[in-house]
Amino acid sequence: MAYQAVAQALSVDGVVHDLNDVFQTIGEAAYLLSSDPQWSSVAALLDRAVERGRSITHGLVQHPVVSCELEDIADCAVQFAADVLHALQVPGVEFCRDIEPGIKLRGAPGCWERVLLNLLVNAGESMTQGGIVELCARTVDDEVEITVADNGPGIPPGILPLVFRPNFSTRKRGSGMGLHIVESIVRRNGGRVVAGNRTAASGAEFRITVPA
């Protein structure tokens, strides 16, 4: 078992090292593009994508974090979600945040950013004609409640029980792993996540509850 643990750690370190080389190449290409006004916005998007990738790989090897600031995580997740939707040419999506100051979450920042990013991008992609995605967070008694809601078409009732299963997706582009990853991270940090609709007619809502 000890040998397997060491081998796994070495394997992860090797993958992280190779990915960082890839990020370095992309970053250098972005730097070259940044000097051309026609491509400066693309260069900025690439720079943010590189930082996001480095944050993910760093999270694979970093030591556990006791707590992290939700407001900071939300800022990063919203910015990157906007970049992703721009790259996917999803028009007219607006993000609105209403987060109680001072909320901290137990766990690694990169993991919680991944949770919010997946939910925000899913919400944005569901609204093909544009719309509003709301990210809210409140402390209720000894728990933190986080909701991500949109005013899109909502989730058909028949598939609500299936959305967190691995490899389940209603979109051709989707891998079916995004919501499964969300549920896994939330559960690993002692919380739970529920999917539903804001009304009977429209608007999906994901509600996360974790210990404060």
Residue 203 is part of a domain; what is its CATH number?
3.30.565.10
Domain check: are 51 and 83 in the same one? no
* Boundaries of domain holding 144: 64-211
Domain check: are 137 and 195 in the same one? yes
Residue among 20, 106, 3 nearest 61 (CA): 20
Domain check: are 136 and 168 in the same one? yes
Contact assessment for residue 176 and residue 168, using Cβ atoms and an 8 Å cutoff = yes
Q: Give me 37's structure tokens.
A: 């006004």
Domain check: are 20 and 124 in the same one? no
Choice among 61-70, 100-109, 141-150, 178-187 with the minimum mean pLDDT: 61-70
- Rounded Cα–Cα distance for residues 96 and 99 (Å): 10
Q: Could you say which of 62, 77, 94 is where a domain stops?
A: 62
| Helix, strand, coil percentages in the chain from 3-state DSSP, rounded to 5 | 50, 20, 30
Mean pLDDT of the chain: 83
Output the CA torsion sign for 84, 188, 70, 147: positive
Residue among 85, 165, 154 nearest 125 (CA): 85
- Alpha-carbon distances, residue 189 vs 43, 108, 144, 179 (angstroms): 35, 9, 12, 16
Domain check: are 86 and 115 in the same one? yes
Domain check: are 154 and 94 in the same one? yes
Q: Could you say which of 62, 84, 104 is where a domain stops?
A: 62
For residue 74, how many other CB atoms are within 10 A of its CB?
22
Number of domains in the chain: 2
Domain check: are 129 and 162 in the same one? yes
Domain check: are 205 and 164 in the same one? yes
Domain check: are 178 and 100 in the same one? yes
pLDDT band at 11 (very low <50, low <70, confident <90, very high): low
Domain check: are 133 and 193 in the same one? yes
pLDDT in tens, 80-135: 899 888 888 888 999 999 999 999 998 888 889 889 999 999 999 988 888 999 99
Q: What is the pTM of this model?
A: 0.76
Close Cβ partners of 107 (under 8 Å, ≥ 6 residues apart): 64, 65, 67, 68, 185, 188, 189
Domain check: are 32 and 97 in the same one? no
Q: Could you say which of 12, 36, 62 is where a domain stops?
A: 62
Domain check: are 114 and 184 in the same one? yes
